[in-house]
Every structure is written in structure tokens, then in C-alpha cells.
Structure 1
Amino acid sequence: MLRTLDIRDMLLIDRLSLDFAPGLNVLTGETGAGKSILLDCLGFVLGWRGRAELVRAGAAQGEVTAVFDLPADHPARAVLDDAGIEAGDELILRRVNATDGRKTGWVNDRRVSGEVLRALSDALVELHGQHDDRGLLNPRGHRQLLDAFGGLDLAPLRAAWGQRRQAAAALADAEAALEAARAEEDFLRHAVAELEKLDPQPGEEETLDIARRGMQAAERVRGDVARALQMLAGEPSQPGAEGLIVEAARWLEGAADKMGDNSAEGLDEPLAALSRASIELGEATRAIEDALAAMEFDPATLDATEERLFALRALARKHDVLPDDLATLAGDLSARLSALDAGEARLGDLQRAVADADAAYGAAADALGVARRAAAKRLDAAMAAELAPLKMERAVFQTRISDGEPGPEGRDVVSFTVATNPGAPSGPLDRIASGGELSRFLLALKVCLARGGEPLVMIFDEIDRGVGGATADAVGRRLARLAGGAQVLVVTHSPQVAALGQQHFRVAKSVADGMTTSRVTALDAGERVEELARMLAGEEITPAARAAAEALLAAGRQD
């Protein structure tokens, strides 16, 4: 609910603060008094695009503040949440217009863009009138309005649409993958065969390299080691070091025997040393022999090792991977080849899934279409009942449903059309109906579509234009009915409408010191009688006019 509207230095208003009530709030005044200025100011704070020049002449800037009550389940809370603004029970919108045209907006003291204000406006306010291109006259919203009127549940259809989209996306992905795989099929088959033939193993390249280096090193030093063994062990024609030591020890032992026990003591130590040397030389000889044996290899083994190693490295360079990654690459390419081979079968499964999803969506869309056509008939009948009291019994309202592109809300295109006279062609509301007729069409349609506890503040701008008497009374009673479940603001020239308001404001224009200003006054009971009498009689208010005004107010209170 709009609770207060505070205006400073906007158009013809210098200072104005209004408190609105629940139910029906009416604004009256002479033509040109400035009633539309209030709507311009409200539209400004809500981010609507309107007049370029809004700041009052002589003022540095203009400012409008609107305060709304915000129930816990109000849809505006979702807008605030998306904008990162904390929501309380009260929503304060403030917007300033500088003389240079700059506009600055705040929501609960948080600076916001015009887009955020307009998003909040869609959740807070609904304007009805001849320029109602954001509301009932907008054909893009007719399907949603019909669904709300019929109480239709779109959840099954939306679920079927989601499943259809998922199935179609899965099929498209599979087709793209299969097409890409087919483009590289020859490469895959050749590469997989080559890798399977080589059968690379993780860590194999390092193992082969170590083995190759070992054999190459053995080939280079084996001759030197054999020469060392020859020097130690000797040859049949020439004794080695070990043989010479044995020979030397034999000569010393012979000398010791000739010298006798006492004289040979000097040879004991060299004999012992030679014995130790002989033992060490024997161990060295055996170790060298073992080393030589270990260095023995088949040259064919070296050739095979090098061939395998070079093949691994060449294949790794070919695929631009490390040799240790060849085994992983082989698995990946094999999987892609298997996917290619199995792709046709999987494609068939996905195509059947898409067909099933299409069928499910089609059934849900058909069921919703039947329900919409039934709801359209009920809406057309309800509109006929509403148009008759509004002196439009000859007009025909028809909800047209045609085929459109499928989507999450079905494949029905819904449009509200009218024919103002029997036999006349029907067409869109805003192209067929005149100004007064359009206003009454919109009012009847809103009455039919309204739901209890309407979260929007409904504004009707001179929706009773061009009607009077019983028709004006019918308009007023329908506005009052709407106001029973929501807050309604109506700008009116009709006393029959004004008499039904719970709150009555009078807009008047005055000139002081060469400056024109508009004033808005909340009327008490006596002032309402005078204002209604003026609306009935004109400038000269007669007793009869006052009596008629009192009768209108009394009839409104009885309702």
C-alpha cells in the first residue's frame, strides 16, 4: 500500500505531503488544476519515463519521496533481494531531479539506478488508462492474465519443457561429438593401432634409458677391466702380479731355509707381507672376474633396447606428449574410438528420448490449451456481464487464442480483442476503442481479472472520462469493488465515482505573486459535500446540488 507521497519543488507543486488510506482514494478538481501532476510525480519516483522538465521554476532541484507498506510476502521483496537491499516492513523510495536533468534515486537510503526503481514499480503499482501500455493493453501479458483468471497450473508444462530442452541439448551435444569424432576417425584408428602395437608402459622410457646407458658404459670400459685382470693374473707366457708375488715368496722361503732359524728372522716380516698381498690380490682378481662377467651382454640386446627407446620417444614427439604419458594417451584415444563406434547406437537412444519428451510436452501443451480456451470462454462471459452496466452492451470482448512458438508457457498466443458495435471488425483494445470506451473496457477487464489481496496499488487515470449518470455510478461501484481487496487511486471528474471513495483529495490551482502553484487537500465530510456539489453544479453551488451531493455520499456509505 502507498502510505505517503511527499513532493518538493516539482512542476507546479512547491511543498506537498499526502497520506493515503487503504481502499478507494479519489482525486478531484477542475480541469487543469494539476491532478495529472501527482501521477507524474509518482511516476518519477518509480522510475517511469515521463516529462523531461520536472523541476519547479526557480528551484535548484525537485524531489519526490514515496513510502509503501511492504507485507512479508510482497513480490517487491524479490526485487530488493536481487538488488542487495535489505527489506523491512516499510519501503522508502526517494528520487531527486536536478535542473541540469540529472536524476538520482534511493531505496531505503541505498542509491539505486532507474532500472531498479522501474523493477520495483512493476511490483508495486499498476496504471490503467488510455496510455496503459505497461498493463492490460500490453498483449505480451495477456496470456499470463488469462492463466491467472483461469487459475491454471503451468508447473507440469514447465517441467515437460525443461525435460524437452535437456533431451534436445543432450542429443545436440552427442551429434556434435559424433560429428567431431567422425572428422578424425582415420586418425583415431591409425593412432590407436600404432599405440596398441607399441604398447607403451608408464616408466618404461626411464628403464630402457638406464639399461642402454649401462650397456654402452660396459662396452667402453670392459677392455680396461680385462687388461687389469691380465696384469694381475698374467698369461701362460708371462706371469702376472699374483704369480710374481708367489715366485718372490718362494725365493725368500728358500733363502730362509739356507740361513737357519736364527739368521732367517729378518725374512719373516717380508714373507708375512707377501702372504697378505697374495690373499688381497686373489680377492681382487676374483672381484674383477665377477665384474667382467657382469659386463657381458648380447649386442643384439643393446640394439633391441635402443630400437624400443627410440620408438617410444618418436611416438611421444609425434603426439606432443611425454613418453610416460603415451599409455594414458592410448587409453583416451581408445575411449574416443569406442565412443565413435558406439555413437550411432547412443544417438538412436537420445533421439527416442527427444521424441518421448516432445510427446510429453505436446500432451501437456494440448491440455493447457484446452484449459485456456475454457478459461477464455468464461472470461468473455464475465466481460459481457461487466460491460452491460457500463452502457457497452453492444460491444463484444473476445479472447483470441492462436498457435505460436512452443515455450515454457505453452504454444498459445493470447490476445484480448474488442468490437465496439455488432458486425464491426474486432481488433486490439487500444486500436479499436475510443478514449472513453477504452477506459471502460479496461475497468471491466480489471474487475474480471482482479484477485483478492491484490499486491499492486492500482491507479486509474480518468477512467470514467466521457460517461455520466448511471454509467458513472457503475464505474464507481466497480472501482469500489476493486478497492475492497486492494488500494485504488483514481483521478476522476465524476461525482458518482468520487462519492464512493474512502479518502477524497481536492486538487486546486492558485496564483500568488505571479507564481502558479497546485495544492492538494484531504477533504473532511463537509468539504466533500461542497466538492461533490461543485462537480454536480459547476461554479454556482445550489442547495439542490448540496442535497444531491449528500445523497450520493449517503448511498456510498450504505454500499
Structure 2
Amino acid sequence: MVTLIAVLAKLRIKNIGLIDSLELSFQKGFTVFTGETGAGKSILLDAIDLLLGGNPVTNSSRILSVDSDFCSIEGFFKPNSLVNSWLKKNNFNFEKNELSISREWKLTDGKWKSRFQLNCQVVSRQYILGLRPFLADLTAQGSANKLSSLTNQLKWIDKLGANEIDNALSKVKLHWNEWKLLSDKLTRARSEYENIQNNYRKMQNTLEELEMAGINDPSEDLNLKQEEDRLVHGVRLQESLCLLFNSLKESMDNSPTALDSLSLSVRELKCITELDNSLRPQLDQVLDLYTNLQVLINDLDQYYSLLESDPNQLNKIQERRVFLKDLKSKYNRDLQQLILYREQLRESLNNEAPDIALELLEQHEKNARIQRDKSNADLSQLRRKVANNFEITLIEHMQLLGLSTASFQVQINSTLPSDNGSDQVNFLFSANPGQPLSPLVEIASGGEISRFLLALKAILAQVDGSSILIFDEIDTGVSGRVSSAVANLLKEISLCRQVFCVTHQPLIAAVADHHFSISKVLINGSNRSKVHQLKAFQERQAELAELAGGDFAEASIYAASLLEKKAA
């Protein structure tokens, strides 16, 4: 049967810090680690941190043993339903109600290289980091990094809202995805519509240009070339024509022309044909020559008249030829193809202008956006309600922890919508009356942040009994009544979570269910850490007396009273 809370049942350590080899078994409830400074208390918590994917740069360099080329940490957990659900969602199946995680380091070419295994299966560090929040939550003295994250602050509010916020958040995600799908579709449709409109305008401009070009003859450019050549060589042509006319019809020196000679030949042949009719065919031939010569002279006359008809014609023809050449180059088509292209454009543009039915899609997107915003507003209202209750409860806890004059407020501002709603949460804090509220991490001291986190974990523990809570000297800087309040709060949290704590406070150590003492011993000339579980009354009494300091007899009596009070 799966336990209601996740539990670290066993921890094995090899060549970590001052520890050569160690195996510890743990139970549910409240466990404390005590001992002199430098004995290695925090090494145990750092080992758990590293086991669950902690940053190897900041930790491993100081806790991996320099006397060995192999180090390892192995933890055995009893998972709960939340852990099992995460594993199933991330495609990891196991049968036993026990989860083992191991991390091994090997020194290769002067560099430490590590690997993770989950139930003897190699997994990535990112996989372990994804699992980590469901197994353990480590809080160290001055842990401002967690509080500085506005995302974490929002998650804490959502956790406190339990099922009510979970249901609202599910609707927000659903409506966000529906809106996002329509929004992306609308964006693409608008882009396509704009492209079509641009193409339509380009087609219109092209047709207007081709219509103005007035191209109707596919041979126009060839004809213009011939006409241009004729006009360019006009003077030479005129001179040649004058010589032809002089020899054919109008002699400049009154000498007989070709036409005169043919005319004389016709007259003579007519005369002799009357004398001999057999010459009739020859007469017909001469008559044909005479007629053809007259036709030739008339054609040349017309050609000559054209050469003198328009002095500006050459310039016009050359301009037209340049225009047609540029047009063919621009569209990469000859005149025949340009005429066909113009007809195609006419046919295409005779239809109505292209249009995409955007109105219906725009209305769908608008409706989805309204639904998205409504879901966000409902979620925001719930978050504000939870935040108000959280403020009251947290202030009560802070007063018990010695922050009697502190003020606290959960500021919820609107931000750009996402699948997590449209809220941004910021924790505002003031330690003293008259001091304005400011972001918690900017104004609170390390001790105030530690007590704030402890109060927060106590509140969250009532609604989220999932991961193991680990506190590293969170009681630093407190004593007396406040120390007692911290002890009581840690004990209260341990009723629904497994709690580990490194402490120097006898008041806190006395209320623990399980007590481990860490000491430093000299073995073969080297300091080593020794871990011993204190079970007997006298053992715990002696340890608490050491923590209390001062006169040992008085401290011993004080320690006994703490343990007796706890037992009572």
C-alpha cells in the first residue's frame, strides 16, 4: 500500500566529505542532526541535495572526497501517489513500493563525471530534477532564491487553493489552448489574405501597364526595326532612287530613259507586227515589260514619298523600340507572350477582387478570447481569496516566530495572459511599524526570510503532504521563546511530512522523534565524520547538554527537563 507521504527510508554514502562509508535508516516524523561545527552535519543534507540533482559545481567540489576516485550516494524512498503519478506520466514503470536513486562519480582524466540511476535504470539529471519536487524540498538558512521567484510565489498560492484552484486552472488551460489555436489560425489567414491582396494589386498594375503599351501586333518589334533601318538610311536611299528615276523615267541630260526606250520599242514592234503577225508574241512581251516598268516606277515613287513624309518618325520609332525592349525584359516575355499574358490578366481580373472570409474566423477568435479572459478572471478571483486567507494565517505564524510587528501582503497584479492565467504574485513584507511594504527578498534579513519560509512550509504542509522537508540551520539567529516556537512548528509539520533538520538549538532537538549526532574523529591521522543515532534517554540528554553549553551540570538538568517535557 502506498504511503500518504513520501519517506526517505535509507541513505548510503561512500567517500563523501569526511565520510568514508555510511548507511543510515530513517523513519517518518521529525529527525534532527546535531554536532559540533565542522563535524559534517550539513554534508548529509548536501548529499541528499546532490542525490536529487543538486548543482554539482557548487556542492560536489567541496564534498567529493579528495582521497578517492569514486564516490556515491544512494537513497531509498517510499513513494506516494503523487510520485507514482509523475513516474507514470513520464514513462517510468516499477513494481515494488520502493524507489531507489543513486548517483555515482568517477574521476577520469582529472575531472569528476557522474551518472544517475533510478531503480537501477540510468536516467538523466534533468529527469531527476523533474522528480525532485515530489520527493524533497530543501530549505537552507537565508534561502532567498526560492522566494525571489515570482513563479514560485504564484505556485504556492495555487497549492493553498487546493482543488478549487486546480479546477479553475484546468479551465484556464483549456480555454487558453482553444483561443491560442484560433489566434494562430487567424494570424495565418490574415497573412494569406494580405499576400493575395498584394498579388491582386500587382496584377492590376501589370495589366494597366500592358494596356497602355497598346501591343496588338506580335511582329511590331520586327516591323519597327525595318522602319528604323529605312529611316536611318534615308539620304542614301533617296540618292539611289534619284539615280534610278534618272535612268528609268526622267533623264537629267535629256538622254533616252529606259521607259523611253521601251516606249519606242513598243511603237516599232507594233509597226512590224502589222507587216508580220508572227511577231505578235514579242510585242506582247515588250508591252508586259513596259507595264511592269511603269508599276515599278510607281512603287518607287510611293516609297520615295514615304521617305519625305515625317522627319520626326525616326525618333518616335526608336523610342517605341526601346519601350518594347524594356517591357520584354521586365516580364521576360516576347511580344506574342505579352499579348497572351495581357489577355490572361484581363480574364482573371474580370472576376471580383479576391477575398477571404475573415469575419467568421475573427468572431470565433473574439468569442474564445472572451472565454479565456472570463476563465482568467474567475481564477484571479479565487487566487485573491486564497491570498487574503494566506496573509492572515502567515501573519499569525510569523507572530509566533518572533515577528510580532511584521506586516505581510500578497500583491496580485495583472500580466499578459498565458495558460497559467493572467496574474503575477509578489510577496510584500515589512518588519517594523511605519516601514513601507516592499518585495520580501529585497527588505527581509536572512533570519526573517528563514522564519518566513518555515511559516510558509507549515501552512503548505496542511494542504500538500507530498515531499520530504529538509531544513539546514533554519533556526540560526533565534533563541528563547522564538526557538521554542520554531521547535513546535517543525514538530507540527512532521505530523504530515517527514522532516529533517540540522540544528544547534536544544529546544528544537528535544522535540525530534529521531536524533542523530555527528562528531569528528581522528582515524589514521585524518579527520573523519562519525554518525551515531541517539536512542537512549541518557545519550540524548548528554547531546542536548552539549548544545546548551555553560555549566555541564546545569545544562544536563536543563536537557533532561526538555526531554521529560517532550515525553509528557
Structure 1-normalised TM-score? 0.68
Task: Give the structure 1 partner of residue 78 of structure 2.
Answer: 69
Say whether residues 1:164 and 2:176 are aligned partners.
no
Task: Give the structure 2 partner of residue 521 of structure 1.
Answer: 532
Query: Is 2:520–2:529's contact at 8 Å kept on the other side of the alignment?
Result: yes
Cα shift at 1:432: 1.9
Say whether residues 1:36 and 2:42 are aligned partners.
yes
Query: Is 2:160–2:463's contact at 8 Å kept on the other side of the alignment?
Result: no
Gaps of 5+ in 1: 190-333
Q: How does 1:106-505 map to 2 (within 5 A)?
A: 106-130=117-141, 132=143, 135-151=146-162, 152=165, 153-185=168-200, 341=354, 343=356, 346-452=357-463, 454-505=465-516
- Deviations along 1:171-207, whole A, 9 cap, x unmatched? 1232233234334448999xxxxxxxxxxxxxxxxxx
For residue 561 of structure 2, what is the amino acid of its counterpart?
A
For residue 462 of structure 2, what is the amino acid of its counterpart?
R
Tell me the SS of whatever aligns to 1:42: helix
For residue 389 of structure 1, what is the amino acid of its counterpart?
L
Task: Give the structure 1 partner of residue 14 of structure 2.
Answer: 8
Cα shift at 1:411: 1.1
Tell me the SS of whatever aligns to 1:388: helix
1:102 to 78, 92, 113: 113
Gaps of 5+ in 2: 1-6, 205-347
Q: Partners of 1:34 and 1:174 in 2: how far apart?
A: 64
For residue 433 of structure 1, what is the amino acid of its counterpart?
A
Cα shift at 1:377: 1.4
Cα shift at 1:80: 6.5
Tell me the SS of whatever aligns to 2:410: strand
Say whether residues 1:24 and 2:30 are aligned partners.
yes
Query: Is 1:5–1:18's contact at 8 Å kept on the other side of the alignment?
Result: yes
Query: Is 1:127–1:135's contact at 8 Å kept on the other side of the alignment?
Result: no
Cα shift at 1:3: 0.7
Task: Give the structure 1 partner of residue 546 of structure 2.
Answer: 534
Task: Give the structure 2 partner of residue 198 of structure 1.
Answer: none
Tell me the SS of whatever aligns to 1:143: helix
For residue 440 of structure 2, what is the amino acid of its counterpart?
L
- Deviations along 1:53-98, whole A, 9 cap, x unmatched? 4332322311111111123x22365246526564641111111122
CA change 1:350–1:340 in 2 (3 A) is farther
Q: Partners of 2:135 and 2:352 in 1: how far apart?
A: 55
Structure 2-normalised TM-score? 0.67
Q: Partners of 2:150 and 2:87 in 1: how far apart?
A: 24
Q: Partners of 2:97 and 2:432 in 1: how far apart?
A: 49
Instruction: Give every structure 1 segment of 4 or more consecutive aligned residues whose post-TM-superposition deviation is greater than 6 Å.
Output: 186-189, 337-340
For residue 414 of structure 1, what is the amino acid of its counterpart?
V
CA change 1:418–1:53 in 2 (3 A) is same
Task: Give the structure 2 partner of residue 206 of structure 1.
Answer: none
- Deviations along 1:421-464, whole A, 9 cap, x unmatched? 12223333333222222211111111122235611011011111
CA change 1:120–1:398 in 2 (3 A) is same
Query: Is 2:76–2:100's contact at 8 Å kept on the other side of the alignment?
Result: yes
Q: Partners of 1:548 and 1:131 in 2: how far apart?
A: 30
- Report the aligned-residue RMSD: 2.8
2:561 to 548, 551, 557: 551
Moved more, 112-121 or 403-412: 112-121
CA change 1:532–1:502 in 2 (3 A) is same
Tell me the SS of whatever aligns to 2:552: coil
For residue 130 of structure 2, what is the amino acid of its counterpart?
A
- Deviations along 1:140-190, whole A, 9 cap, x unmatched? 21112112213323122222212211221221232233234334448999x
- Deviations along 1:254-299, whole A, 9 cap, x unmatched? xxxxxxxxxxxxxxxxxxxxxxxxxxxxxxxxxxxxxxxxxxxxxx
Query: Is 2:159–2:463's contact at 8 Å kept on the other side of the alignment?
Result: no
Aligned residues: 411
